Structure 1
Amino acid sequence: MVKILELSKFSLNRFIVNNPSLPADYIRNAYYNGIGRHVCQLQRITFKFCKTSADSKGIRQFIETDLVDWSRANSGVVVYLKPRRHRSPVIVTEYLNGLRHWMGVRKFTPVELEWWLDFLRDRSGYELSQLMSPVNVMLPSVQGPWHPFLNRDTRLNVYQFPDAESGAYLYDKPTASQQLIQMSQQSNTSQ
């Protein structure tokens, strides 16, 4: 219950979509994402923390209790621990596309750290940005974007749905039931 209450403040903000402080950009794909399988884009994560500071208490608790389980669950991510004296705790993530993300985690609880680690693990590594367009192509089509009714007969515009004719599935081959009926009819006619 406590975990749910602590994570409720991290719900998605509806104002992030039209945030003027975010740069405008087109949607991008992580090109290193394998063929037929997902490749985690997070390559390396470094925890920098102070061994004595009260600001680093949450990250120290997370390291003592949950870090081993998290690193076992995410075996493709290299985890580094870097203690340093009298500095604020920081998480530095490095992604396959070469970008690095730096995040201050001063006075975070272990639950908040776990949430942010899952968020950082699932990111592509690109900076957050507003989308200029939901579709981006390098060579735009002269015909316009494809849609389901692109090369269909225009009579579909005046049909009253549901329609038995247009909703019927057209089989390429006869079904097993149709083949059995056909075989029985042939055997009856031959006798």
Structure 2
Amino acid sequence: MSNSHIFLKSGFIRTPSQNGVGRYVCQLQRVVLKFCKNNGSSRGMREFVESELINFAKNNPGVVVYLKPRRHRAPVISAEFLNGDKQWVSCHNYSKQDISKWLNLLRTQSGNTTGFRLRKLQHTDHPSIQGPWTPYTFKDPAENLAEYPNTELSKPKIQLKTATDELLEIFNSVQISDKKGVE
């Protein structure tokens, strides 16, 4: 294990309490679209602002959208969430569809950043000496030496009746009992 986790923030996952139980509360609070009016790398951002920004603002009334023109700078989307976290996306040479996808992603996120070392609520001083369970823990050791594809190992271990077989048996037993009742 490396020591890179030392420099990450540490804590528990903070989620909005019962978000979506009564009604959904969008966690995106504010979006700032920063772009240059003349620079070619901001063309997609300018096209998005001209054609799709009004629809985005109408569809998301809880999100405040700011436009910030800047000279000779690369376009950036800066997002602020209700929990105080901030994220930004560099939109250098992005099309208006890419910017729309990024805004949709930011709108649906909870705002928790990935640079976060998660801590668990449980701890043990005596971990298991057997090691963690894996799907291969109780496998047959013969499978280690088998050559694949192997028809013998491909067969199901337990032959269960299908629902169709069960229904046919019930139908046949009813017919047999009806024949005995008639005779």
1:28 Cα deviation after fit: 2.0
| Structure 2 counterpart SS, 1:48 | strand
Change over 3 Å in CA distance of 1:28–1:118 after alignment to 2: same
Given residue 40 of structure 1, which amino acid in structure 2 is its aligned partner?
Answer: C
CA RMSD of aligned residues (A): 3.1
1:125 Cα deviation after fit: 0.7
Matched, 1:119 2:129: no
Match of 2:142 in 1: none
Aligned residues: 121
1:102 Cα deviation after fit: 1.4
| Structure 1 counterpart SS, 2:94 | coil
Given residue 44 of structure 1, which amino acid in structure 2 is its aligned partner?
Answer: R
Match of 1:67 in 2: 53
Tell me how far apart the structure 2 counterparts of residues 130 and 28 of structure 1 sit (CA, whole Å): 9
Tell me how far apart the structure 2 counterparts of residues 138 and 73 of structure 1 sit (CA, whole Å): 42
| Structure 1 counterpart SS, 2:48 | helix
Tell me how far apart the structure 2 counterparts of residues 138 and 114 of structure 1 sit (CA, whole Å): 41
| Structure 2 counterpart SS, 1:44 | strand
Instruction: Name the larger-Rg structure.
Output: 2
Tell me how far apart the structure 2 counterparts of residues 30 and 24 of structure 1 sit (CA, whole Å): 16
Structure 2 spans left out of the alignment, 5+ residues = 125-159, 162-183
**Cα deviation code 1:128-179 (max 9, x no counterpart):** 258869xx54699xxxxxxxxxxxxxxxxxxxx99xxxxxxxxxxxxxxxxx
Q: TM-score, normalised by structure 1?
A: 0.54
- Alpha carbons 2:9, 2:117 under 8 Å: kept: yes
Matched, 1:28 2:7: no
Tell me how far apart the structure 2 counterparts of residues 38 and 112 of structure 1 sit (CA, whole Å): 25
**Cα deviation code 1:75-111 (max 9, x no counterpart):** 1100000001111101100000001111110100011
Could you tell me the percent identity over the aligned residues? 39
Tell me how far apart the structure 2 counterparts of residues 122 and 70 of structure 1 sit (CA, whole Å): 13
Tell me how far apart the structure 2 counterparts of residues 84 and 39 of structure 1 sit (CA, whole Å): 32
Tell me how far apart the structure 2 counterparts of residues 98 and 132 of structure 1 sit (CA, whole Å): 18
Given residue 47 of structure 1, which amino acid in structure 2 is its aligned partner?
Answer: L
Structure 1 spans left out of the alignment, 5+ residues = 1-19, 141-160, 163-191
- Alpha carbons 2:13, 2:118 under 8 Å: kept: no
Given residue 60 of structure 2, which amino acid in structure 1 is its aligned partner?
Answer: N
